[in-house]
Structure 1
């Protein structure tokens, strides 16, 4: 503070201080009011941005069809005898003959695997309506010996079944097919699924007046799941005609993808 000659404050200095205070208050009010006026505009811009920049999420389906190159055959021999040792020996002999016949046909030993060995007692024998459970003379022992054969040349499927039956196999439990290398089919199905997702997303964007943008997220589901489409697949026992008749048909691998796209509009 500035004092005059007699130690008193100069009135002119007080006026200067008051002027600066008024200018400061006016500037502060201008800043505050300007900020409050800008808030609705900023909120409006955020709303416009949210409306103009969204996403669309769709699921695409893709598939590819291929020819099986591998077959799996479940087969076996069932033996019945009143002596458990005799039934077991007969079953073993038959299975050994089956394996030898398959190896002679060109099936590798490592592609033949035992899948079941069952021994049980049949109290009724061959005539359940006329036999009594208390009659030990009617007891029969049954032995089932089953093997699973991997056939890596589908042209040999019928021959595999026929030579096994000729060697004594009297049980065919199942026949299924597979493809050893699915990578190429999976890639084809994946590309098909992505293309399907883009078509669906474009349709949704057109219906809602939006413009489809870039992909921001992809999730894959169900890769490598096969759906057999068998053609024929009939098998005939040797005693019923000319032996096994097998058609491998085709197999389909399906893939699903979930794709999220950016949108604008």
Structure 2
């Protein structure tokens, strides 16, 4: 009987302990929930306005970039394609060096060597059709090079000479672009103009709204850079290799622009 009394008391103690634990956890959950509702409640609401500013400057280009491609097709072996491409590339490089183009201003932009196949047509009267036969035609190699010409007045002459340097139409000349080599200072100038433009717009907007500008809370710059003049395929009406004379190529001016977005706190 004494043992059953002890067992009964232990059961009651365990029950009360469980009840207290449930009450404690419930109270803690409610407290946490109420706390979440008030997070940030003491943070004042900040009113803002956002404006966009633009700036641009113009400058005469001081360098030209041109591209050319050495092409070899239907070589019997990969080595034959590479040897022929190397021969023509060396002729082009010799021509560039003779025209005072520094080696650091010559760089490869693409090199592609792959086999060429033709697929023979067949007349198919049954299903499934038999696979068409692929006939190996040889290897093709395309080596594209970009050149920076610092003596900008000689760009047209160099472009014309490159098309003839390799002979046999193995060099095709691509686009000619006029750029500003170091545009950092001009970009900073355009950015300052864009920021001033944004400030003026913000002041005018604040006046119209009857509020006061307090401080900048966010700033972003996007877009921008220089817009360059580009002349596509050299020679009128076709391949660069057909050009018989060197045309006059006006460089014009390049536009360097900046666009900014500024957010102000207002009161």
> Under TM normalisation by the shorter chain, which class is it?
0.5 to 0.7
Q: Which residue of 2 aligns with 1:194?
A: 195
Aligned to 2:110: 116
What SS does structure 2 have at the residue aligned with 1:115? strand
1:55 positional shift: 5.4
Aligned runs of 1:138-157 on 2, under 5 Å? 139-157=137-155
Q: How does 1:7-46 map to 2 (within 5 A)?
A: none
Number of aligned residue pairs: 206
Deviations 1:157-178 (A, max 9, x none): 2122112111125223444443
- Contact 1:123–1:133 at 8 Å: present in 2 too? no
Distance 2:62 2:155 in 1: 11
Structure 1 pair 249–97 and aligned structure 2 pair: CA distance change class (3 A): same
Q: 1:135 Cα shift?
A: 5.7
Partner of 1:230: 229
Partner of 2:64: 71
- Structure 1 residue aligned with 2:159: 161
Moved more, 88-97 or 243-252: 243-252
On the 8 A contact 1:232/1:249 being kept in 2, the answer is no
3-state SS of paired residue (1:191): helix
CA distance in 1, matches of 2:265, 2:114: 66
* Distance (Å, rounded) in 2 between the aligned partners of 1:100 and 1:194: 48
SS in 2 for 1:194: helix
What secondary structure is seen at the aligned counterpart in 1 of 2:182?
Answer: coil
- 1:74-127 residue CA offsets vs partner (Å, 9 max, x unmatched): 2121123442244332221111000000010110112112333322222349xx
User: In the aligned structure 1, how far is the partner of 2:112 from the partner of 2:182?
Assistant: 35
2:256 — aligned with what? 253
Give secondary structure in 2 for the equivalent of 1:253: strand
Structure 1 portions without partners, runs of 5+:
1-49
1:172 aligns with 173
- TM-score where L is the length of structure 1: 0.63
Q: Which has the larger radius of gyration?
A: 1
Is the Cα–Cα contact under 8 Å of residues 70 and 179 in structure 1 kept in the other structure? Answer: yes
- Greater Cα offset, 160-169 or 246-255: 246-255
Bigger mean CA offset, 103-112 vs 252-261: 252-261
Unaligned runs of 5+ in 2: 1-43, 122-131
**Structure 1 contact 102–160 (Cα < 8 Å) conserved:** yes
Is contact 1:81-1:141 (8 Å) kept? yes
CA 1:64/1:217 → structure 2, altered by over 3 Å: closer, same or farther?
farther
Task: Measure, in 1, the Cα distance between the counterparts of 2:162 and 2:183.
Answer: 30
